[in-house]
């Protein structure tokens, strides 16, 4: 299905996991795709595999975000799809949360996502689709995930207000909130077998999601088929939030 033909998409954090799967899906659906990430080798590997364009940028750095927006505008002009996907997960009891970890999570997941949206607003085309990668962590309350959950809940609040602010330009803004999905993020949090079994026990469909399943929802929200959908959050979680 080439329903994204003629559209240009920017995906932050597109070198692995959900961002990578979304880049593949949007490209297959006809979009011109640009991905970002901090790790040069990972970005280069992904751009080669997917045949897309890559930029190295740290979304927690305002200078990098501004340079990225300038570079994207210079190379591609305005864009039609903005997927703010970058994110990290760090767990700690509230009592023991180090300030540096608090800042890292909030600077990437919330401040970085917020300013990515902010600095790309001027180069969004009319009828563009913005998708913020949130999480069921904003709704369920897993122990040790207070900062991660707060970062995503904050993003959901921004999503609704952005939908209002951008409605005059017919730009749609939505959030996609996966439950646990088998991506590299699981290795990064040091997922043990017992934690995996515990997480699966919280999911009525009794399995982790796949990045490709999330990518299909992203592709739908990116397309004109979702033309009356804005200001909404979409759970894709195997029933975890029931
Ligand atoms: N997997 C899940 O279970 C799950 C569930 C709910 C929500 N999510 C959300 O889904 C999004 C994608 O996660 P994932 O599971 O696909 O994880 P992943 O495989 O670890 O991918 C994360 C991506 O974000 C990039 N990234 C991280 N920090 C960045 C920064 N400061 N600047 C630019 N890029 C950055 C990483 O690239 P570099 O390291 O090269 O920068 C990577 O491409 C995140 O927002 C996450 O919170 C995931």
Domain ranges of the chain: 8-236
Of ligand 1's listed atoms, the one at least distance from the Cα of 64 is: 32
Provide the percentage of residues in the chain whose pLDDT is more than 90: 92
The total number of residues shown for the chain amounts to 242
Q: What is the pLDDT of residues 34-65, one digit of tens each?
A: 999 999 999 999 999 999 999 999 999 999 99
Three-state DSSP at 234 gives strand
Distance CA 86, CA 120 (A): 15
State the CB neighbour count (10 A cutoff) for residue 227: 11
Question: Domain 8-236 belongs to what topology?
Answer: Rossmann fold (3.40.50)
| Residues facing 178 on adjacent strands | 236
Cα–Cα distance for residue pair 5/178, rounded to 1 Å: 26
Q: How far apart are CA 242 and CA 229, in angstroms?
A: 22
107: Cβ below 6 Å to ligand 1? no
What's the gap between Cα 195 and its chain centre? Answer: 24
| Cα 168 to ligand 1 centroid, rounded to whole Å | 31
Condensed to tens digits (0 to 9), the pLDDT of residues 61-82 reads 999 999 999 999 999 999 999 9
The C-alpha torsion from 190 through 191 and 194 to 197, rounded to 10°, is 170
């Amino acid at each position: 299905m080439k329903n994204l033909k003629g559209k240009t998409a920017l995906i932050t954090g597109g070198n692995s996991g959900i961002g990578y799967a979304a880049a593949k899906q949007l490209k297959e659906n006809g979009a011109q795709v640009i991905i970002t990430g901090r790790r040069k080798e990972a970005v280069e590997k992904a751009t080669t595999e997917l045949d897309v364009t890559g930029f190295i940028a740290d979304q927690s750095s305002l200078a990098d975000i501004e340079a990225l927006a300038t570079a994207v505008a210079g190379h591609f002009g305005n864009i039609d799809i903005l997927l703010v996907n970058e994110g990290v997960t760090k767990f700690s009891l509230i009592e023991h949360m180090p300030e540096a970890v608090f800042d890292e999570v909030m600077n990437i997941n919330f401040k970085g996502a917020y300013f990515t949206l902010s600095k790309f607003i001027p180069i969004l085309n009319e009828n563009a689709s913005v998708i913020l990668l949130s999480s069921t962590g904003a709704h369920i309350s897993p122990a040790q995930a207070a900062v991660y959950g707060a970062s995503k809940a904050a993003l959901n609040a921004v999503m609704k207000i952005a939908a209002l602010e951008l409605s005059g330009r017919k730009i749609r803004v939505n959030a996609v909130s996966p439950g646990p999905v088998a991506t590299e993020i699981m290795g990064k949090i040091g997922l043990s077998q017992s934690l995996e079994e515990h997480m699966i026990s919280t999911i009525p469909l009794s399995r982790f999601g796949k990045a490709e399943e999330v990518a299909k929802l992203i592709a739908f929200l990116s397309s004109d088929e979702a033309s009356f959908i804005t200001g909404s959050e979409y759970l894709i979680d195997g029933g975890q939030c029931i």
